[in-house]
Amino acid sequence: MGGECICVMGRYILRRLLWTLVVILIVTLVTFVIFYVLPSGDPAVRFAGKEPTQQVVAQVRRDLGLNHNVAVQYLLYLKRLVVGDKYGWPGLGFSYTTGGAIAPQLWQRAQITLQLVLGAAVIWMLIGIPVGVYAALKPRSAFDRSSLLVGLVFISTPVFWLGMLLLWLFWATLGWLPGTGYVTFTTDPVAWAGHMLMPWLTLSLAFAAIYARIIRGKMLDTLGEDYIRTARAKGLPERRVVTHHALRASLVPIVTLLAVDIATLIGGTVVVEDVFNLQGLGSWVLYGAQNQDLPITLAVTLVATIAVSLLSLMADVIYAYLDPRVRPR
């Protein structure tokens, strides 16, 4: 089975990667189309200064590659993406508004977003799993009910509002935590953590609640499974039944969920980054879209799409590894 399994898996992964490519093509195309067909501004005009002559505008267009029709521009973009440009590989071009190269900024900002998302993920898992498991072990108890209700409050809280509330409380009023902004870890680890703490919390509370809910449900389902009864009937200690049999089965589906959530957040922390002034991918794409800076928008879109596709693929592979039933045979 081994060899064939790997081969089948490989083919499956290849197919998924192919589909990822298709999605990337479509998503970037849509981005292009939104940018060109719908909006109002001509980036060249802005680039060309306050009182541009038509020649200058034309020249800027040429420089920005805007003189070709959309289809050609798109193809050129793809080409540069594949073969690279003067800023290296992949060819992501330069910002229409600042003239700076995209790629180095992208990595820099991706780091911040990644720190934000991963930190938040750790927090929400650390809160969500124990709460969910404990609630499932004591269904309908006071803890269960109150965790459900508190969780629902978290789920219902708009992230930006929570962020503002935290800032108002812990920064503006109490002065316990530093305000918005970002300090690199290497500069000052304490300041780094101080600055990240509120964004992490803001991002993770709703997820913690959602995960607690999901884990509680999965755990309850699992605890109702026949094989848990079997484990008990074998005389296993309750602790082992819970950890080894119930938790294991309950957490496997969480892997997929986690990967997809993290992936979605990589392009989706806009609001938190906005509130906390973090110069990550989210605030960048907001900037790019609001300023019609297509290369920025495309770069973030690309990263987000790739993150979603690859992480969900990874999740599926891990899932297949953890759950023999879904391994391709």
Partner 1 sequence: MSDVLLEIENLHVTFASPHGPIRAVDGLSLRAERGATLGVVGESGSGKSVTFLAAMRLLDPATATVSGRIRLDGVDLLTLPSREMQTVRGPRIGMIFQDPLAALHPLLRVGDQISETLRAHGDISRRDASDRAVAALRRVGIPSPDERARQYPHELSGGMRQRVMIAMALVLEPELLIADEPTTALDTTVEAQILALIDDLRTRIGLGVVLISHSLATVSQVADTVAVMYAGRAIERGPCSDVFGQPQHPYTWGLLDSLPAVDGGHESLTPIPGAPPSLADLPPGCRFGPRCGYRMPACGERVPDLVERHAGHADACILPMDGREGLRRAPIAHPANSEPAP
Partner 2 sequence: MTDPAPLIATEGLTKRFPVTRGILFAHTVGAVHAVEDVHLAVRRGRTLGIVGESGSGKSTTGRMIARLIDPTAGTVLLEGTDITRVGGAELRVLRRRIQMVFQDPTGALNPRHTANQIVGAPLRVHHVAGNRAVRVAALLEQVGLSPDLGDRYPHEFSGGQRQRIGIARALALEPDLIVLDEPVSALDVSVQAHILNLLTDLQRAHGMTYIVISHDLGVIRHLADEVAVMYLGRIVERAPAASIAAPFHPYTAALLTAAPGRPGAAHRRRILLPGDPPSPITPPSGCAFHPRCPKARVISGDPNVVPERCRTDAPPLDNLGRGRSVACWSPVATTDDLVGAAEAMSAAPDIARATSD
Partner 3 sequence: MSVDVSILESAQPPALGTGRSPAALMWLRFRVNRAAYVSLIFLVVLTVAAIAAPLIAHLAGHGPNDLYRTSMLDSFGNPKGPTLHFWFGADASGRDVFVRVIYGARVSLIVGVVATGIAATIGVVFGLIAGFRGGGLDTLLSRTSDVVLALPVLLFAIGLSSACSNTAQGCVGGAVTPGLNLVIVIIVIFAWPAMFRIVRAATLSLRESTFVEAGRAVGMTGRSIMFREVLPNLISPVVVYAALMIPESILFEAYLSFLGLGVPGTTPSWGGMLEQASQYYTTAWWLMVFPGVFLLATILAFNLVADGVRDAFDPKATK
Using the minimum distance from each CB to partner 3, give the nearer residue, 90 or 217. 217
Please, what is the minimum distance in Å from the beta carbon of residue 231 to partner 2?
26
250 binds, among partner 1, partner 2, partner 3, none (CB under 5 to 8 A by kind): none
Contacts with partner 1, 223-242, as mask; x by CB under 8 A: --xxx-xxxxxxxxxx-x--
* DSSP string for residues in 97-108: TT--BHHHHHHH
227 contributes a contact to partner 3 by CB under 8 A: no
101 pairs with which residues across the strands? 94
- Helices then strands, each counted (H, E), the chain: 14, 0
45 contributes a contact to partner 3 by CB under 8 A: no
Contacts of residue 255, defined as CB under 8 A and 6 or more positions apart, other chains included, come to 315, 318, 319, 322
**Three-state DSSP class for 234?**
coil
Distance CA 27, CA 329 (A): 32
15 contributes a contact to partner 2 by CB under 8 A: yes
Q: In this chain, which stretch among 21-29, 78-86, 117-125, 238-246 interacts with partner 3, using CB under 8 A? A: 21-29
Please provide residue 224's backbone torsions phi and psi, each rounded to the nearest 5 degrees.
Answer: -85, -5
Distance CA 324, CA 316 (A): 12
Among 8, 56, 114, 155, binds partner 3 (CB under 8 A): 155
The token pair that represents 263 in the structure block: 């992936």
27 contributes a contact to partner 3 by CB under 8 A: yes
Q: In this chain, which stretch among 83-91, 122-130, 184-192, 247-255 interacts with partner 1, using CB under 8 A? A: 247-255
Residues that bind partner 1 (CB under 8 A): 139, 225-227, 229-238, 240, 244-245, 248-249, 252, 322-325
